[in-house]
Chain A
Amino acid sequence: AQKVTQAQTEISVVEKEDVTLDCVYETRDTTYYLFWYKQPPSGELVFLIRRNSFDEQNEISGRYSWNFQKSTSSFNFTITASQVVDSAVYFCALFSPRSQGNLIFGKGTKLSVKP
């Protein structure tokens, strides 16, 4: 079975703090894809990153960075020097091509960044 766990339901930080959002996944497939999406208060889903299972390189994009570790089945997301505009719900998701349409989302982590 495939599963995505985001153990942190809500996180509250003060602006300029660093914050890490955890994502742990389960799959028996060797080829899979991991995603992070941001859902701001306006409701749309904003794509942040996709990582393929065979590419364990960490990635940095501005204040955002992602740490993919297959050994611990984790794909954690760090925001450096958080800003109020980072306040949103963040979703981690897992997709396996072998499972075709089975795109599995975690329950999301609500991040509140206070000024």
Chain B
Amino acid sequence: NAGVTQTPKFRVLKTGQSMTLLCAQDMNHEYMYWYRQDPGMGLRLIHYSVGEGTTAKGEVPDGYNVSRLKKQNFLLGLESAAPSQTSVYFCASSYLYRSADSGNTIYFGEGSWLTVV
């Protein structure tokens, strides 16, 4: 019963380094998302994907790239990390909504704490 798994959970980067956050879901969901959470700002959408091979920009996409080569995986890349990207990153997935649905439809990973020094 893995759900949504994010790796790594913690990482410290130096300014200018690159890294990739991996999100994996085992629920066969179509939609996947990457959010960042900063104090007092709530969760802000970075990029999202509505299906394998598709990606789209969210509210705060600058400095990040994403790929969805496989339906179950959604990768978030930082090409040249900056201190402003110090944040907690959450991945989420969901299925296509149906009006008769009830209950939870968006599943979150446990978060990845990234510090850029």
Contact = CB atoms under 8 A, between A and B. Distances in A.
Given A101-B33, A103-B45, 19 more contacts: A31-B99, A33-B105, A37-B108, A44-B110, A47-B106, A50-B103, A50-B105, A93-B43, A95-B106, A97-B97, A101-B31, A101-B45, A101-B50, A101-B58, A103-B106, A104-B45, A105-B42, A106-B42, A107-B40
Given A43-B110, A101-B49, A91 B33 contact: no
B13 interface: no
B102 interface: yes
Interface residues of B, number: 29
Interface of A: 6, 9, 31, 33, 35, 37, 43-45, 47, 50, 52, 54, 91, 93, 95, 97, 100-108
B104 interface: yes
Contacts of A103: 33, 45, 92, 106
Most buried by B among A31, A37, A100, A108: A100
* Shortest 10 CB-CB contacts between residues of A and residues of B: A101-B48, A107-B42, A47-B104, A105-B43, A45-B108, A105-B42, A97-B97, A108-B42, A100-B50, A44-B110
A102 B48 CA distance: 8
Interface in B83-117: 88, 90, 92, 96-97, 99, 101-106, 108, 110-111
